[in-house]
Amino acid sequence: MQKELKLMILDSARDLGDQVSKHLRKMMKNSKNFSVSIVNSRFSNGEAKVILEEDIRDTDLYILADVGNYSLSYTMQGNTHYMSPDEHFQDIKRAILAASGHAERITVVMPLLYQARQHKRKGQESLDCACALQELERLHVNEIVTFDAHDPNVSNAIPLLPFENIYPTNTILKKIIEIERPKIKNLLVISPDMGAMERSRYYAEMLGCDVGVFYKRRDLSVLVNGKNPIIDHVYMGTDVKGKDILVVDDMIASGASMLEVGKELREKGARDIYLIASFALLTEGISAFLEGYKKGYFTKLYSTNLSYVPDTIKQEEWYEEVDCSYQLAETIYLLNTSSSLRNKEEDKKEITRCLNCIQE
């Protein structure tokens, strides 16, 4: 028997969650509001608690949170304190604890996976992502849903817990085809480093084109902020001259590496250069992107609304937001109805249809 669906939207994902709720109402042909009313309050020392304001007994509960939202703040000791991913993750655990013993099933929906970049350990460093997933497992959640995990193999840390890693590839490509319809041709997908190669290959397979990769040559004798600095980007692959390029990665933090790749591609004679990232964190501001755009290092940056992006960035002419709220709502709907999720073959057919429309 299908359980009643409920959606607990934490403050970090309020805008995205409201859109998801609207899509769910249409999908389920139901005028009711699926959102659970909650209060997330804090004491003056920063400690917090989550309180449910309605009954969720025997429901199929989906907790939606954006651990990358750096716009939220609270007052602690009289000072304004901006929330970090650590605090957002703590709020997710509070929400689980408030719902435990009441909801029949609890699914945590974290589009941006917490500590995704710390997915493996080298030497004496912490293994944060695996530890976080195991924390959720110990809290007896029934499933975890995320988008474009930095390394999906981190799910090996929780082999008995369902871990759905959804790719926004299809949604992003449809947006690019829709906007760039008359322009794009002779495509080539480029991976900015070896780590993003599998993701880039997926894009190339969807588009039926070739793929290239940049190799980051690093100075292994120096350590800066925990990393070996990049000396050079070495390209390996098909000639890029005269081609439209899609440079694909899961996330952009400072963006320095992407811009360097864009510069190299421009110097090699590439035509239009489109940067694609599931998550445009841009945590070090946009001054480098403004400068890079003026110099022609890229044509546009496409990214999703699965994690917070400031309005100041959304208003830039080089930024295109891809709305993934429908895809997220569809995922929740299919899980609630115990249906199969979309597969790669279905995505491929849809993208092929879109490309055929361009050629016609």
Q: Is the pLDDT of residue 139 over 60?
A: yes
Query: Which fold is adopted by the domain 169-323?
Result: Rossmann fold (3.40.50)
The per-residue pLDDT of the chain, averaged, comes to 90
Report pLDDT for 134: 97
Average the pLDDT over each of 87-96, 151-160, 205-214 and give the range with the smallest value. 205-214
Q: Is 14 helix (H, G, I), strand (E, B) or coil?
A: helix
Owner of token pair 């926004």: 168
Q: Which positions ≥6 away from 25 have C-beta within 8 Å?
A: 31, 32, 33, 34
> Does the pTM exceed 0.95?
no
Q: Which positions ≥6 away from 87 have C-beta within 8 Å?
A: none
**Rounded to the nearest 5 degrees, what angle is found at the Cα of 133, between the Cα atoms of 139 and 36?**
55
Structural domain boundaries in the chain: 5-166+325-339, 169-323
Residues 258-286: what's their mean pLDDT? 93
Q: Is the pLDDT of residue 359 over 80?
A: no
Q: Is the pLDDT of residue 360 over 60?
A: no
Q: Is the pLDDT of residue 54 over 70?
A: yes
The more confidently predicted of residues 30 and 356 is 30
Q: Is the pLDDT of residue 127 over 70?
A: yes
Residues 7-19: what's their mean pLDDT? 97
Residues 138-165: what's their mean pLDDT? 95
Q: Is the pLDDT of residue 132 over 60?
A: yes
Does the domain formed by 5-166+325-339 have CATH 1.20.1050.90?
no
Kindly report the backbone phi and psi dihedral angles of residue 280, in degrees, each rounded to the nearest multiple of 5, phi listed first. -95, 85
Residues 274-288: what's their mean pLDDT? 92
Report pLDDT for 220: 63
Report pLDDT for 228: 63
**Contact (CB, 8 A) for 328 and 20:** yes
Find, among 211, 209, 212, 213, the residue nearest to 185 by Cα.
209
Report pLDDT for 307: 97
Per residue in 206-261, pLDDT (tens digit) is: 888 899 998 877 666 667 666 666 667 788 888 999 999 999 999 998 888 899 99
% of the chain surpassing 70 pLDDT: 91
pLDDT band at residue 355 under the 50/70/90 scheme? low
Average the pLDDT over each of 78-92, 215-229, 240-254, 336-350 and give the range with the smallest value. 215-229
Residues 276-298: what's their mean pLDDT? 93
Average the pLDDT over each of 46-60, 115-129, 135-149 and give the range with the smallest value. 115-129
Report pLDDT for 77: 85
Report pLDDT for 125: 86
- Spatial distance between the Cα atoms of 84 and 92, rounded to a whole number of angstroms: 13
Whole-angstrom CA distances from 196 to 46, 53, 203, 243 are 38, 43, 11, 20
154: left (phi over 0), alpha (psi -120 to 50) or beta: alpha
Report pLDDT for 241: 94
Find, among 245, 314, 252, 260, the residue nearest to 277 by Cα.
252
- Whether 169-323 and 5-166+325-339 are alike in CATH topology: the answer is yes
- Spatial distance between the Cα atoms of 351 and 88, rounded to a whole number of angstroms: 35
Residues 113-130: what's their mean pLDDT? 90
